[in-house]
Amino acid sequence: MHTFAICTHQLTRTFGSVRAVDQLTLTVRQGEIFGFLGPNGSGKTTTIRLLLGLLQPDAGQIEVLGFKVPQQADEVRARTGALLEHSGLYERLSAIDNLDYYGRIWRIPAAKRSERIRELLEPLGLWERRHELVKTWSRGMKQKLAIARALLHRPQLIFLDEPTAGLDPIAAAALRDDLSALVEREGVTVFLTTHNLAEAEKLCHRVGIIRQGRLLAQGSLADLRHHDTLQLEIAGRNFTPQALAALQSQPNVKRVEANGARLIVELAATSDPAPLVKLVIDHGGQIEEVRRNHASLEEVFLTLMEEEEAHAH
């Protein structure tokens, strides 16, 4: 059994003068929800199309579920499910007719088909409404149905491209919860693209961050946080300009922000905060509380983007 559902090595794809995917080396473990994060136009959808063998790479290697792509792309597509930019639903059919149609395409025998459809629709809260036409449904319900469609043939891996795009916050949260529960129950690996960082933070075991086709970082949130900074929040008063200047001059301090009765100090993740606190006191600061905050995914993401921007110039 392969421990990795997806492995790529130096994967590259160019469109004209644009490198949509630039030497991408990525691993996705079996059974995890992997979040592929990046701004719009960073190469996320192109990567999915390469992994499914829908596009030919210019260079590099791809292995999905132990099969080489594009050579064995048919094997891969038979064992994966995908929800890309189009939901693949027929609006004029009922929910059950949609899934039955796809079940026939996948050659699932009739008895197994109806059992499987029920097994997917019930936990999504759609079973009672299975005979309604899809066009009468809300966007959130359609997305749930589209995910059920992607899971119908019991794939080992599913690709979801921005699954909550265009949903209101309540529908998006409901879809995330349902997705977590489904993945847990089905034991499926998920490769999910998003530019919604809060979503990735709630859903994903590991993430990869891409910008302009290049992978900036990959790992668990804890790994990525270590990559960057520790944030110190100092509450109190009498934070003098001299105290700020003294903090700013320390080699391990990246940024100091004074905000009324609060100081925010960003420092290298490995630093010891104690000397900095002493420094503030030595300069007349009166400290009531010191808190250490770990960066949120959003802060890590923005830091990586800024570093990449700086390298680019």
Assess whether 247 and 164 both reside in one domain.
no
Short-list 200, 144, 153, CA closest to 171: 144
pLDDT at 1: 45
Range of the domain at 46: 4-221
Assess whether 10 and 144 both reside in one domain.
yes
Hey, what are 88's tokens?
């693949």
CATH number of the domain residue 257 falls in: 3.30.70.100
pLDDT at 128: 97
- Residue at which a domain ends, from 196, 221, 246: 221
**Is 309 a domain residue?**
no
The Cα–Cα gap between 35 and 64 comes to: 16
Other beta carbons within 10 angstroms of residue 249's beta carbon come to 10
pLDDT at 62: 97
**Is 305 a domain residue?**
no
Short-list 205, 87, 65, CA closest to 150: 87
Assess whether 149 and 73 both reside in one domain.
yes
**Is 311 a domain residue?**
no
pLDDT at 226: 64
Across the chain, which has 313 residues, the per-10-residue mean pLDDT values are 85 94 95 91 93 96 96 95 92 97 96 95 95 96 95 96 91 92 91 88 91 90 70 86 88 83 81 84 88 74 76 69
Long-range residue pairs from 63-70, CB within 8 A, at least 24 positions apart, any chain: 63/4, 63/6, 63/7, 63/8, 64/5, 64/6, 64/7, 64/157, 65/2, 65/5, 65/156, 65/157, 66/2
Q: In a 3-state reduction of DSSP, which class is residue 41?
A: coil
pLDDT at 197: 83
H-assigned helices in 10-132: 44-51, 73-79, 95-105, 110-121
pLDDT at 104: 97
pLDDT at 122: 94
pTM score: 0.79
Residues 6+ apart with CB under 8 A from 265: 231, 232, 234, 247, 253, 255, 256, 257, 273, 276
